[in-house]
Amino acid sequence: MFDLFAIARGNALVIEERFEVVVAGMGAQEAALAREFASWVETEALISINVPSFVVGELLAGRACQNTYELAGELAAVSGRPAEDILRERLKDHYERRIAFDGAFNGGQNFRYGALNAGGPGLTQQYDPYCVVLKRTYQDTLTDLAYLPGDSLKICFGGAGASLDEDAVRRSPAPHSHRHVLVAIERAAEVPTSDKHEWPKLVAPEGRYFEVIFVGEVLLEAVECVRALKTEIKRMRELEFANFGRKLDPGERALADDFVVLRRGALEGKLRLEEV
């Protein structure tokens, strides 16, 4: 089995060298911007996890944010269904690759997945509408932390039905100390043509995010804020108020109730809700 985090730490020097090669091929002004962008990422970017609203409610209730295996285990204990069946149901088409990827690493079932975020709602198109942004003080306590230049299930596998690409596993991860360098390498060509106020979009555009894999319990005290699109908040407010004027179906009612819990937590100062 691989040790993902040891691999990431071992890639530090190679990543530094790759960055220097990239900036050496740029003009002086562009190279200076690339270095400024890297420093900005180091200062501004945090780990985020896109989750459904009920997960925010769980955090407010004092429970930890579960990974897929933990949730499947809990649901299996409650329902009596096999955990593997629940994993297949939740992971859908990603099941085979996720199991293969996590199974290739020591402690892979303890992995938590997120993305770098420097502003914005995170990966709402691909995952869930509420972006839980973790505190810098929390991420600085983590010892097992690795960053990849995209979705691990795409980077570390070939085409359909392909097995794990061990070379990609070894060369892709970056350590926490070099996350900003990795981002700067991948976005170097775009930085000179982007206004600085657009830099957050370079960190986490839809489909081109930087995946973060870490091990550590996520409780409410680890949360910096929760971000959501203004359109999502508007939709949920309308659904919540519709609860008084018409009968909601069970799915709508669950969403409305979850949103009430989220809003109550924000109003009571237990978390900061940002509309973006």
Please write the tens of the pLDDT for every residue from 169-225: 999 999 999 999 999 999 999 999 999 999 999 999 878 999 999 999 999 999 999
Distance of CA 156 to the CA centre of its chain: 17
Backbone phi and psi for residue 164, each to the nearest 5 degrees, phi listed first:
-60, 130
* 125 or 252: which leads in pLDDT: 252
HSE of 238, CA atoms in CB hemisphere, 13 A: 6
Q: Is the pLDDT of residue 244 over 70?
A: no
Q: Is the pLDDT of residue 105 over 90?
A: yes
Q: Is the pTM of this model over 0.85?
A: yes
Those residues whose C-beta lies under 8 Å from the C-beta of residue 237, and which sit 6 or more positions away, are 259
Q: Taking Cα atoms as reference points, which of 158, 64, 144, 159 lies closest to residue 105? A: 144
For the chain, what is the total number of helices (H) and then of strands (E)? Answer: 14, 8
Q: Is the pLDDT of residue 124 over 90?
A: no
Q: What pLDDT is recorded for position 175?
A: 98
Write down the residue that tokens 């562009």 correspond to.
30
Q: Is the pLDDT of residue 158 over 80?
A: no
Q: What pLDDT is recorded for position 243?
A: 59
Contact 25, 240 (CB under 8 A): no
Q: What pLDDT is recorded for position 125?
A: 80
